[in-house]
Structure 1
Amino acid sequence: MAKARRQGGAAALRTAKWAAAGVLAGTGLLGLVLFALGRERAWQALGGGLVVAGASAVLGGALGFLFGVPRVRGGSGGSGEPQGSYAPNTNLEQVSDWLTKVLLGVGLTQLGSLGERLHQLGTALAPVLGGDDAAVPFGAALVLYFLVLGFLAGWLVTRLALPRVLTSADDQALDLFLAGQDRDRHGDKVGADDLRVRAMQQLGVLGGSAEQPAALAGQLPPSAGSPAGPDGVVAEVRATAKRSALTAEQVRDLFADGSEGRRIQALALMQGDPALADLTSLLDAIEHPRSDFEQYHALLAARGLLSRLPADEARRLRDAVAGRLVDPAGIPYGSDRSWLAEKILSRLQTAAPSVPAQPGPPDAPANV
């Protein structure tokens, strides 16, 4: 009951806010229409006034957005506030305090220039509002009215809506990270890395360079689970790879079929079961991919194959990945593919056996 009452009160408050905004905007527009009807060129005055009002509202809204953008709380121990939540920006209070101090410092006698500036503004706008003497103060008032209205609307919308959007995005990224951790605990390293990449894309840490070709969805079998689309099909095929009756040779033939959909299915099978992986096919998809999406999944499959590679094949994979990273037309820096490529190289470097020192010539006997 109490929860329903709070929800009803919040809905009523939102309705009241929108109603107040509508009344304020309608009052300004009604005043503009009545003013334009009294001009000799009513349509010209109305059109010019609407442009001036719109420009003032947009400028005020942009300023309100800048002042209303939330900032992340640091989550200090004694504050009692959760780390990573969003707090309202206090720039508006700081600017207000600064302006108050400036006004007190310069004295009230300097406020006379404000009227002069407003008169200059009205004089500049008067031609588009009819050109007579009455258009001068009306132009200045029109700008001030919609500038303040736009500022308040932009600040309120940003203050109320943007923190929810940012928090929702963070929650989705956190869910992906937790799902990745769960996959990692169950031994699915490839699926865990895939979810971590998606989480970092959600937070804007990595660029989403692995775009999906438009024709790919029609070449893949329909996904029985969620999410739908190529990503869902890849995840589903990867999850069933170890139960598949296909052999490594059949998966290699599937990749060599030629169509991009078959190649993606083969890469998903290689991700799910490293025993089905073929290094030659993976190197082909890394060095000569049909799309960024294919190269991404080839890197994922190679990531799950690292512990099974002998030294000579590990060097081939290292050279192929490093070559695509240094190639200007290869893997772009800061993308999901570059994160995977750097992780593969780091793992190969860590696992590389140390080269024993070559025995030198025997020491010459010392002269006695």
Structure 2
Amino acid sequence: MAKARRRDGGAALRTVRWCATGVLAGTGLLGLLLFALGREHAWQALGGGLVVVGASVVLGGGLGFLFGVPRVRGGGTGEPQGSYAPNTNLEQVSDWLTKVLLGVGLTQLGSLGERLHDLGTALAPALGGGPEAVPFAAALVLYFLVFGFLAGWLVTRLALPQVLTETDQALDLFLAGQDRDRHGDKVGADDLRVRAMQQLGLLGGSAERQAALAGQLPPASGAPAGPEGVVAEVRSTARRSALTADQVRALFADGSEGRRIQALALMQGDPALADLPSVLDAIEHPRSDFEQYHGLLAARGLLSWLPAAGAQRLRDAVATQLVDPRGIPYGSDRSWLAEKILSRLQGTALVPEQPARPAPQAVPAQPGGPGGPSAAGTS
């Protein structure tokens, strides 16, 4: 309920923000349009005014961006290392300007009008010329310069820290995936790469029922919390587990989604515990997208262990899910894993299963041969 209220409040705030932006920009543009319609060359005045508006907004937005760029926290004052804090340059400049104004005195501001008049005189020809264009040009520049500054500063202050933080987190996940890959943990490496691409918005997620699923899984003792944290923790302890492959297979066959996912996590961590029919069932008949994703991860860890017949079954199952309209959607984390599995299967020479050798049969002893009955005695 609290999350829903926060979402509603955030949506309302965004609506108010966009409405205010539209009203401010629309007011200035409407004034420009009305002014241009009263000129002899209306289209020329309107075009010149739009160029002045654009230049003012760009200049003001650039200044707002410079003042709003966040700084990286140093971590030495109890702040988390690598996070971002608001830039205080605007506060420092504001304080500096206040001191300058008090020191120089308000009497020196008289030249500001002359500066604005010179600016209006220089821009008046773009608005059709004439004495009435001079103050309008100066007012147009001031209006949209302030508008651009506020818009650039607010967007930079509100949006850029989140973008930079998410990008840093994605980079950390990619680097962690590279480290896992170097240590031979292909499954964990691909999982981290998928999470990094999800962080950047390049792939869709599969944990669409995290709240319901979290109740079926044991709580994670570390980060990240939630189903992903539980799966990562179970996967990391698979090789130290005393469970056998039969017990993991029975855990998957238990039927509940939570136990099936725990079994898949154990199979991901230790391919010796994996069971191909269970993995295929998770891919072809998943209880959720989240389960299918981890079924594909478990299959990813089995690629170098499968004989030819098992690899063919896995290839058929994955390819069917990719082309099925109700199967794996394009652009999701599952489609990325499925395509990677298929590319590995197509680029790997499959080892055919060796037929079982027949048990050696005992050769009957020949009469008179070694170990056979002795020849008849001579008379």
TM-score (norm 2): 0.57
What aligned pairs does 1:26-41 form with structure 2 within 5 A after superposition?
none
Q: Distance in 1 between matches of 2:317 and 2:308?
A: 14
What aligned pairs does 1:242-281 form with structure 2 within 5 A after superposition?
242-281=239-278
Task: Work out which of the residue numbers 335, 339, 342 in structure 2 matches 1:342.
Answer: 339
Residue 283 of structure 1 is matched in structure 2 by 280
* CA shift digits 1:242-290 (9 cap, x unpaired): 1111111111111111111000100000000001111111111101111
What aligned pairs does 1:99-110 form with structure 2 within 5 A after superposition?
107=125, 110=128
SS at the partner of 1:190? helix
Query: Are 2:173 and 1:155 aligned?
Result: no
Q: Distance in 2 between matches of 1:106 and 1:354?
A: 81
Task: Work out which of the residue numbers 53, 57, 73 in structure 1 matches 2:24.
Answer: 57
Residue 216 of structure 2 is matched in structure 1 by 219
Residue 164 of structure 2 is matched in structure 1 by 167
SS at the partner of 1:166? helix
What aligned pairs does 1:86-105 form with structure 2 within 5 A after superposition?
none
Is contact 2:217-2:258 (8 Å) kept? yes
Residue 318 of structure 1 is matched in structure 2 by 315
Residue 93 of structure 2 is matched in structure 1 by none
* CA shift digits 1:176-222 (9 cap, x unpaired): 11111111122211111100111111122222244344311011111
Q: Distance in 2 between matches of 1:112 and 1:328?
A: 67
Q: How many equivalent residue pairs?
A: 246
* CA shift digits 1:12-33 (9 cap, x unpaired): xxxxxxxxxxxxxxxxxxxxxx
SS at the partner of 1:250? helix
Residue 177 of structure 2 is matched in structure 1 by 180
Q: Which runs of 5 or more residues in structure 2 are unaligned?
A: 1-17, 29-53, 66-120, 353-379
Is contact 2:307-2:350 (8 Å) kept? no
Is contact 1:283-1:320 (8 Å) kept? yes
Larger radius of gyration: 2
Query: Are 2:305 and 1:308 aligned?
Result: yes
Query: Are 2:159 and 1:192 aligned?
Result: no
Q: Distance in 1 between matches of 2:19 and 2:205?
A: 40
* CA shift digits 1:27-67 (9 cap, x unpaired): xxxxxxxxxxxxxxxxxxxxxxxx9977423768xx96996
Residue 199 of structure 2 is matched in structure 1 by 202
Superposition CA RMSD, Å:
3.5
Letter in 2 for 1:341: A
Is contact 2:186-2:301 (8 Å) kept? yes
Q: Which runs of 5 or more residues in structure 1 are unaligned?
A: 1-50, 71-102, 119-140, 356-368
Q: Distance in 2 between matches of 1:336 and 1:107?
A: 57
TM-score (norm 1): 0.59
* CA distance 1:111–1:253, shift in 2 (3 Å): farther
Identical counterparts, % of pairs: 67
Shift of 1:151: 3.5
Letter in 2 for 1:57: L
